[in-house]
């Protein structure tokens, strides 16, 4: 009696690869039981990061203590800053961040400790250090001096301050903060799963996050938000949007920012952030790209029954805030570090090596012919 072939799902679509108490997309996206819309409406990213890492929304005192610990860690070792300054000018911010996280592992006093408390300490430090690395590398690449982090600001406000050297309008801080909440966690996505696979070998959090950033780089994952403005600029404006979109679909081109492996009827996060993107565009005095996006959304729904994912409004929001396109995916990373770290901690708290099988499609059994008999 032959053994039945194992079930195969390309791309692991629909495969349950583990258990988690962090996040679910069933019935709408939620973090540890809280709907993401509710979190975006009533919490700051700092509160959500505490929720993901420590399991519960913080009290006022817990939030103050958490923010104090994170703020105290907002600094890079001088040798790492020197390395960022020495990188070639063509190095992308995300590639620089991948290198920075790997290097930070050498300077962390808990690097060799995979215990629960040590991993949480490292996670909080990475939450603090990643925005500093992004901002410092960006300014150094422009020939500008890095701006020291502020101790009195939350994650979103401090990041904008380090980029610009001035306080940003509260509306911009709020919009960025909401985008960080929406990007913070998303179950077993490619980068998170990569991190869990890495640490399941009993590797360390810096290795896991470095691998996660490598996965995030791809345009089918985090890099999609950088492609949104490329699409809109190629369209040119709302007057050309319908014709351009139909022509692109006829050519079977993929329009980044639409569709999702999990969400078939639309991404709730996109609906939340769309309003912020419109408000920021109005504040900037340029709603052309919002109008263009609206037409593309309408055509995509009618022609393909496809709906926007979070990257679609995020790319437009960051553009309206006058953030340069190469920063978009690093901003994703400085949000998702909360989710990645939570998954690393969860994986290592109850670890089992992740080692799936493959469905072999190669030649059947055959004997080796010695080299003398294989011809000239």
Following DSSP, what letter does each residue of 243-306 receive, concatenated?
A: HHHHHHHHTT---TTB--SS-SS--HHHHHHHHHHHHHHHHHT--HHHHHHHHHHHHHHHHH--
Strand stretches in 96-193, DSSP E: none
Distances (CA, A) of 144 to 65, 157, 158, 161: 33, 20, 18, 14
Cα–Cα distance measured from residue 162 to residue 148, given in angstroms and rounded to the nearest whole number: 7
Closest CA to 334 of 114, 160, 196, 107: 160
Closest CA to 139 of 165, 103, 175, 169: 165
Could you give the residue numbers annotated as active site? 260, 311
Dihedral, CA of residue 209, residue 271, residue 167 and residue 81, to nearest 10? 20
SS3 at position 27: coil
């Amino acid at each position: 009696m032959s053994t039945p072939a194992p079930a195969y799902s390309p791309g692991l679509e629909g495969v349950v690869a583990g258990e988690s108490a962090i996040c679910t997309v069933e019935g709408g996206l939620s973090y540890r039981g809280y709907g993401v819309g509710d979190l975006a409406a009533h919490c700051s990213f700092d509160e959500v990061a505490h929720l993901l890492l420590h399991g519960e929304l913080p009290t006022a005192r817990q939030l103050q203590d958490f923010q104090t610990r994170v703020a105290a860690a907002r600094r890079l070792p001088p040798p790492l800053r020197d390395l960022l300054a020495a990188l070639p000018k063509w190095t992308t911010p995300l590639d620089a961040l991948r290198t920075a996280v790997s290097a930070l592992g050498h300077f962390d006093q808990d690097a060799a400790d995979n215990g629960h408390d040590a991993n949480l300490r490292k996670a909080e430090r990475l939450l603090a250090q990643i925005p500093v690395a992004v901002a410092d590398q960006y300014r150094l690449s422009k020939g500008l001096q890095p701006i020291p982090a502020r101790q009195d600001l939350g994650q979103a406000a401090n990041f904008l301050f380090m980029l610009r050297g001035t306080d940003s309008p509260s509306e911009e801080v709020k919009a960025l903060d909401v985008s960080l909440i929406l990007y913070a966690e998303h179950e077993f996505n490619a980068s998170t799963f990569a991190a869990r696979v890495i640490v399941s070998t009993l590797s360390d959090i810096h290795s896991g996050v470095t691998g996660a950033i490598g996965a995030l780089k791809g345009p089918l994952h985090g890099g999609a938000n950088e492609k949104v403005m490329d699409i809109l600029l190629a369209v040119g404006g709302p007057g050309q949007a319908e014709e351009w979109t139909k022509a692109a679909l006829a050519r079977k081109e993929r329009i980044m920012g639409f569709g999702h492996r999990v969400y078939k009827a639309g991404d709730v996060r996109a609906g939340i952030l769309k309003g912020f993107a419109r408000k920021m565009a109005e504040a900037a005095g340029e709603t052309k790209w919002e109008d263009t996006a609206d037409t593309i959304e309408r055509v995509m729904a009618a022609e393909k029954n496809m709906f926007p994912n979070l990257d679609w409004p995020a790319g437009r929001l960051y553009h309206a805030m006058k953030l340069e396109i190469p920063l978009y995916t690093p901003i994703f990373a400085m949000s998702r570090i909360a989710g990645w770290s939570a998954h690393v901690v969860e994986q290592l708290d109850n670890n089992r090596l992740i080692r799936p099988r493959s469905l072999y499609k190669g030649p059947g059994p055959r004997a080796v012919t010695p080299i003398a008999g294989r011809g000239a």
